[in-house]
Amino acid sequence: MTTTTSGTPMVKAEGVHKSFGAAHILKGIDLEVAPREVFCLIGPSGSGKSTFLRCINHLEKVNAGRLSVDGELVGYRQKGDKLYELKDSEVALKRRDIGMVFQRFNLFPHMTAIENVMEAPIQVKGESKAVARARAERLLDRVGLSDKAKNYPSQLSGGQQQRVAIARALAMEPKLMLFDEPTSALDPELVGDVLDVMRGLAEDGMTMIVVTHEMGFAREVGDSLVFMDEGVVVESGHPRDVLTNPQHDRTKSFLSKVL
Ligand SMILES: Nc1ncnc2c1ncn2[C@@H]1O[C@H](COP(=O)(O)OP(=O)(O)O)[C@@H](O)[C@H]1O
Ligand SMILES: [Mg+2]
């Protein structure tokens, strides 16, 4: 898909470094995600995948390098050749454009499914309840949960909660969706419904970065696949190529454990 799109990448990382104290976690990440691309990210636990997503979403500051979303630097404004750090309010505005779905669904437990989906547009964008409700109904339908609108999270399965979490992220009409191991906490029989929702999003042209261990999903839905280890991109390419013909020993060894 990279070849069919032109212009500004949705995400561009150039030499991105991130440390926590003395721990050097991201050691120069270079990658590009095109609009409408489904970009899968795999790698062992602790390799920095979540940290990288958090940098994209302005939850962590990069220490060196450049990271931009839709042509705009994350966390900074450029004037001439000088960079100015964004204020918290400006960061919050930018974060609205990026939806994030976590391993743990983090729904508001005291709100019904539909209230969870309505909440951010009302609170953050000042949208009317009627407008927010109409969209939430549409989104719950899209994730196959129209009949669960009035259920509380505790009355839903993990897979259903995760689909509500996806609908909640979509309610802000993001231009980019980040998924951090969205099916890892689910019982195996619930994984498929969540992946189906993600597949539908991909077909509708959503730009998605998906950290996952679901190699079948990566192979079928992904446009590109990156293998990350110890804070560097070891290997990237078309999912089929990386999965069936890995070039690096570290990739081979990782895949032999997960495939
Ligand atoms: N806020 C933090 N403070 C200190 N260390 C962190 C923090 N967040 C992540 N780390 C460390 O960064 C490393 C990479 O973590 P993470 O990005 O979560 O990896 P992955 O998602 O690939 O499993 C881990 O060693 C983790 O302990
Ligand atoms: Mg992680």
pLDDT at 4 over 60: no
Cβ-Cβ contacts under 8 Å for 250 (sequence gap 6 or more): 227, 229, 234, 235
- This model's pTM is above 0.85: yes
Note the pLDDT of residue 5: 47
Of 3 and 130, more confident: 130
Note the pLDDT of residue 128: 97
Q: For 218-259, write each residue's pLDDT tens digit.
A: 999 999 999 999 999 999 999 999 999 999 999 999 999 988
Query: CA nearest 155: which of 142, 164, 168?
Result: 164
Q: Which atom of ligand 1 is nearest to the CA of 180?
A: 21
Burial (CB < 10 A; 0-12, 13-18, 19+), residue 178, is: buried
Strands (E), 23-92: 23-33, 38-42, 64-69, 72-73, 76-79, 82-85
pLDDT at 181 over 70: yes
Note the pLDDT of residue 6: 61
Q: Distance from the CA of 205 to the center of ligand 1, in angstroms?
A: 30
Query: CA nearest 38: which of 181, 206, 169?
Result: 206
Q: Which atom of ligand 1 is nearest to the CA of 51?
A: 17
| CA separation for the pair 11, 126 (Å, rounded) | 28
Which residue owns the Cα nearest ligand 1 atom 25? 46
Give the pLDDT band of residue 105 (cuts 50, 70, 90).
confident
Probe ligand 1: pick from 16, 20, 212, max atoms within 8 Å of CB?
A: 20
Note the pLDDT of residue 79: 86
